[in-house]
Amino acid sequence: MEKRELEAERGRRLLEESQDIVLVLDEKDRLIAASRRARETIDGLVKGKKVSADLLQPEPWRPRRVPLGGMRESLVFLREPGELAAYEELRAGFTAAVSHELRTPLARLLALLETAALPSADVDSLIEQGTAEVEQIRELIDDVLFLSELETGRAVVALTATRAAPVVREVLEAVGERASRAGVTLSSELDESAEVPLRPRMLRVVLENLVENALRYAGDGAAFAIELERSGEDVVLTAADTGVGVPPADLSRLFERFYRADRARVSRGSGLGLAIVKHIVTSAGGEVTASSSPGEGLEIVMLFPG
């Protein structure tokens, strides 16, 4: 009995706190229960009363009915008019993009495994290459999950102000050896007292993605600099490189998920780094812009209002 009561309470709590518009109806479509969002969205919901027939029509609410086991009750999921089409378009596009990005490293990994079966195969080299492909897949999955957390609000971005200079130095020091191998010179010019409205972890994610972008795409011989300064009440964080730059046609799409310019497509990056940067900065109330010309490098400016 206690177990059943616990399960019932768990079900009531899940329904109440659901972010969806959910109704529980009996066999005559009378209301048994409704989620908080349903009560806030739909007027006239009364327990024991039959819900409006308009809510159960294909348009515009697009109801989805789920029977509750052997009981003569059902869960009905509704979406606000116009919400479903936008959601489905976003979901389909995102799923297609993830599938496409995963397909390439998986195809390369399969080719490596097939090659390893040949009598003359250099197995050690193939294992090393295969490990790199698996690492790319892991990176993509991690970035997708992290971006999903940001977009659903499960990762708090702007919880407190953080002095940025120590975090900038920490990130640049951590990638110093990789930058040397990539032929990219790192530098910084920092206002020691400047603070940004980000948790240290979120600021670190922003900086790591900016540095990673420069190491992958700026090119051998480029310089990458981070500048942190005050502008009146605002704080401006600038990341600039002197690399190959971005064509004007690609610049407006630089912060889109999975978008990469032609030269960047040969890289092993996930294509999500700058999308994550923009989402974090804007979630904290800031603005982010990019400017570039081919052969003149890329500059990304993040402004955090005071």
In this structure, what CATH number is given to the domain that contains residue 219? 3.30.565.10
Pairwise CA distance, residues 245 & 258, whole Å: 18
Is position 56 within any domain? yes
User: Quick one: three-class SS letters along 52-83?
Assistant: CHHHHCCCCCCCEEEECCCCCEEEEEECCCCH
Does the structure show a pLDDT above 60 at 14?
Answer: yes
Does residue 292 share a domain with residue 240? yes
157 in a structural domain? no
pLDDT tier at 86, thresholds 50, 70, 90: very low
CB-based contacts of 18: which residues, under 8 Å, 6+ apart? 35, 36, 37
Dihedral of the CA atoms 51, 57, 63, 66 (nearest 10)? 70
| Domain containing residue 90: CATH number | 1.10.287.130
pLDDT score, position 301: 96
- Same domain membership, residue 282 and residue 191: yes
Residues 257 and 141 in one domain: no
Whether 294 maps to a domain, the answer reads: yes
Residue 168 shares a structural domain with residue 299: yes
Given a cut of 50, is residue 263 above it in pLDDT? no
Q: Are residues 221 and 271 in the same domain?
A: yes
For residue 46, tell me if it sits in a domain: yes
- Residue 146, domain extent: 86-151
Inside any domain, residue 196? yes
Q: How many CB atoms lie within 10 A of CB 219?
A: 18
> What is the spatial distance between Cα 164 and Cα 197, in angstroms, rounded to a whole number?
10
Does the pLDDT of residue 84 top 80, yes or no? no
Same domain, 95 and 208: no
132, 151, 170 — which closes off a domain? 151
Residues 199, 299: one domain?
Answer: yes
Q: Which of 111, 132, 151 is the last residue of a domain?
A: 151
C-alpha–C-alpha distance, residues 230 and 292, integer Å? 23
- Taking only the tens place, the pLDDT of each residue in 148-192 is 666 555 555 656 788 999 999 999 999 999 899 989 999 999 999
Q: Are residues 285 and 208 in the same domain?
A: yes
* Residues 114 and 211 both lie in one domain: no
Residues 89-148: tens digit of each pLDDT: 445 555 655 665 677 778 888 888 888 888 888 988 888 888 888 877 776 777 666 666
Residues 201 and 295 in one domain: yes
Residues 167 and 298 in one domain: yes
Highest mean pLDDT among 141-145, 196-200, 297-301: 297-301
pLDDT at 259 over 80: no
Question: Poorest-confidence range of 5-9, 161-165, 265-269?
Answer: 265-269
- Give pTM, 2 decimals: 0.55
From 78, 104, 126, the end of a domain falls on: 78
The count of structural domains within the chain is: 3
Please indicate, yes or no, whether residues 169 and 286 belong to a single structural domain of this protein: yes
156 in a domain, yes or no?
no
Per-residue pLDDT, 189: 95
Tokens at residue 74, please? 């059902």
